[in-house]
Structure 1
Amino acid sequence: MTPAARIAAAIEILDSFLGEAPAEKILTTWGRNNRFAGSKDRAAIRDHVYDALRNLRSYAALGGAQNGRAIMIGALRAQGQDPASMFTGEGHAPAPLNSQEAEFKAQELPTDIALDCPEWLIKPLQDSLNENFEPVLKALKQRAPVFLRVNLRKTTIQDAQDALQQEGIDTAPNALSPTALEVLTNPRRVQNSQAFKDGLVELQDAASQAVTDMVPLSATDKVLDLCAGGGGKTLAMAGRVRANFFAYDIAPQRLRDLPVRAARAGVDVTVLSDPEQEAPYDVVLTDVPCSGSGAWRRNPEGKWRLTQAQLEDLCDTQAKILDRAATLVVPGGYLAYATCSLLTCENQDQIEAFQKRNPGWEHLMSRSLTPLDGGDGFHLTVLKRV
């Protein structure tokens, strides 16, 4: 496919997204229905789409309309390219610019549009991020780095780097976590690399690794990951300490690959259907459902789909999970509360409300990370039952 044909495909996909279809599903369906597109074509189209989703409002404003064609016109303008060079109508390229499109002159963009922030989230994010509001929002407009977690149960940082380099994947250590490597070249090769297949490395954001590094663990602990999802943080904790690990998620299908991943990593994890049956635990980690605002670089769709009502429902769910988790911790044990959110209502406010509802918990530490620290945005609070 030509570069212009890839833009035409991105326009088609973006129009489906604006019609409320999930981005990942659209991309998958498009790939199945267009077998002529090679792997490089599909990767380039995906990059166009996700770049557009990260910058949806500003690109639409630069293109003069809220549709896939205008968004891709705006994308080219934002990148300093003349859209007419791609919108030629030749072959499979998009149709040439009409006079209105060619003559459109964007005015200076308002802050919320320039920062690609939903209007209703401006105030909550300003209050949460303070002086970092604009720098963080600008960072969320960019593609996220790719990070790996080195499995120290099986290898060292240097040996993992050497193994990856032999397959053309260059990496560099990252200061956020002693197990984190940033992928510098050929990130799409990682999952087919021998280092990955042998369990030497796992794909995991550096900030996510940093959060699990802060969870207090010892070799004699009984540890529950209460909202385990795919089990990434479970495996990260198990890579640090040979404790007794359990994983649970309200949607069991999310954990279906965890036994295979744990075996590949050389760690033992018990998947539970009822976490109360094995209670109490020395450590309970609750990586709760949240807005995902700290990870909008990776999932920009979430930024545009989130509503005020959904955020309120998420906060209610988070409070209920915290209260449930509190009943599972032994006296003297630890409750770790984590989100990938930048919003105070999902982080500090939740902990303050929890401690008011549940006396007898000591606040040991809290840390909030943003994309300015290098990885995704994350929050962690550790409480001790006294």
Structure 2
Amino acid sequence: MIPAARLSAAMEILDEIVEGAPAERVLTRWGRENRFAGSKDRAAIRDHVYDALRRRRSALWRSGAAAETGRALILGLLLETDPAALELLTGAGHAPAPPDADERAAFRCLDGAPPPVAGDYPDFLHDELARSLGPALPEVAAALKDRAPVDLRVNRLKAGDDAALAALAADGIAAAPVDGVPGALRVTGNPRRLTGGRAYRDGLVELQDAASQAVALLARPGPGEAVLDLCAGGGGKTLALAAAMGGQGRLVAFDANPRRMRDLPVRAGRAGARIRVAADAEVEALAPYDLVMVDAPCSGSGAWRRDPAQKWNLRPADLDRLAAVQAQVLARARAVVRPGGRIAYATCSLLAEENEDRVAAFLARNPGCAKGTERRWLPGAPGDGFYFCEIIVP
């Protein structure tokens, strides 16, 4: 496919997404129905679609269109990121039609756009984001408009950094260490080769955002401890905890939705990690734990560049629901941690409502518990936006 035809396909896919269809489902179906498109074509189209979704409000504003369409989003995206690419819109062959006089007259810059439009986030979140981030809000919003890097965690159960880098290089993948996060690597070349390469296949490296890795390290799981990952999800932090424990101790993984953990046994086997995937009733039966990791369900606002649909689907009622879930999970963690143990509370959220406020509410309900290490990472350095707070239990 020529570059212009890729833009046409992205417009077509975005039209369906604007109507409410999930992005991944539409992209998958498009790929199946258009077998002529090669892997590079599909990757480029996906990039166009997700770039437009990250900048959904600012792109529509830049286009000046009265209605949100795939064409309007791509026009606005190109105006913002690559104006020269508008020349590809010739109408010849499979290329989109060029902007007509009315469309060009509507084009505008972001000067005067409301902050949520310029920053590409929902209106209802503005006050909470401003409270949480203060003067950093515009810079953080800008960081969330761009694609996230591909980060890897060196699996210290199987390899050191040098061995992992050498194995990646043999697979044709370039990577470099991430400053400030031991064992974190950032892929700088050929990321799409990763899952087919030996380094990944043999468990020398795992895909994991660098800030997420930093959270697992700050939890300080000890080699001989009993550790519970209470919101394990796909198991990224569970595997990081296992590596930090050096394969010693007892590590239990649980998630309220067991389907999220369906790949964890295979991933653990590849990584050489011993992890017990627990059913609901086993969480208490296997207590007490020295450390309970609570990577709580949240808005995902710190990782919106990876999943932009998450921010556009978020509603005010969701924050109330999530706050209740976060409180429930913390209460369960408190019930199963041993005296003198630790709860490691974390979210990939930028919102104080899900972070500092939740910890403060927990401490108010649990006299004697105290804050230990507390840290917040903003998107960009070293990775996604994350919050971490260690809670020490008396």
In 1, Cα distance between the equivalents of 2:108 and 2:309?
Answer: 24
The amino acid across from 2:312 in the alignment is W
Indicate if the aligned counterparts of 1:362 and 1:384 stay in contact, CA closer than 8 A. yes
Corresponding residue to 1:117 among 93, 106, 121: 121
Aligned residues: CA RMSD: 1.3
1:25 Cα shift? Answer: 1.3
In 2, Cα distance between the equivalents of 1:326 and 1:219?
Answer: 22
Q: Does 1:341 align with 2:341?
A: no
2:189 is paired with a residue whose SS is coil
Matched with 1:309 is 317
For structure 1, the 5+ residue unaligned runs are none
Matched with 2:330 is 322
1:67 Cα shift? Answer: 1.2
Q: Does 1:144 align with 2:144?
A: no
**How many percent of aligned residue pairs carry the same amino acid?**
51
The amino acid across from 1:271 in the alignment is V
Corresponding residue to 1:231 among 216, 229, 235: 235
Q: Counterparts in 2 of 1:170-319, with a 5 A limit? A: 170-241=174-245, 242-274=248-280, 275-319=283-327
1:137-187 Cα offsets, whole Å, 9 max, x none, are 111111111100000111110111011111211111012310100000011
The amino acid across from 1:87 in the alignment is L
1:17 Cα shift? Answer: 1.2
1:86 Cα shift? Answer: 2.5
In 2, Cα distance between the equivalents of 1:143 and 1:231?
Answer: 23
1:51-93 Cα offsets, whole Å, 9 max, x none, are 1111111111111222110111111111242565232222112
The amino acid across from 1:213 in the alignment is L
Q: Counterparts in 2 of 1:79-158, with a 5 A limit? A: 79-82=81-84, 84-107=86-109, 108-110=111-113, 111-158=115-162
Indicate if the aligned counterparts of 1:58 and 1:109 stay in contact, CA closer than 8 A. no
Q: Give the TM-score of the pair, scaled to structure 1.
A: 0.97
Seen in structure 2, the aligned counterparts of structure 1 residues 273 and 382 have a Cα distance that, compared at 3 Å, is same
Q: Give the TM-score of the pair, scaled to structure 2.
A: 0.95
In 1, Cα distance between the equivalents of 2:203 and 2:257?
Answer: 25
Q: What is the number of equivalent residue pairs in this alignment?
A: 386
Matched with 1:162 is 166
1:260-283 Cα offsets, whole Å, 9 max, x none, are 111111110000012112111111
Q: Does 1:40 align with 2:40?
A: yes
In 2, Cα distance between the equivalents of 1:82 and 1:279?
Answer: 61
In 2, Cα distance between the equivalents of 1:102 and 1:130?
Answer: 36
2:61 is paired with a residue whose SS is helix
1:372 Cα shift? Answer: 3.7
In 2, Cα distance between the equivalents of 1:83 and 1:157?
Answer: 40
Seen in structure 2, the aligned counterparts of structure 1 residues 83 and 202 have a Cα distance that, compared at 3 Å, is closer
Indicate if the aligned counterparts of 2:292 and 2:342 stay in contact, CA closer than 8 A. yes
The amino acid across from 2:286 in the alignment is E
The amino acid across from 1:152 in the alignment is R
In 1, Cα distance between the equivalents of 2:256 and 2:81?
Answer: 43
In 1, Cα distance between the equivalents of 2:290 and 2:119?
Answer: 43
Deviates more, 1:262-271 or 1:103-112: 103-112
The amino acid across from 2:75 in the alignment is I
The amino acid across from 2:268 in the alignment is A
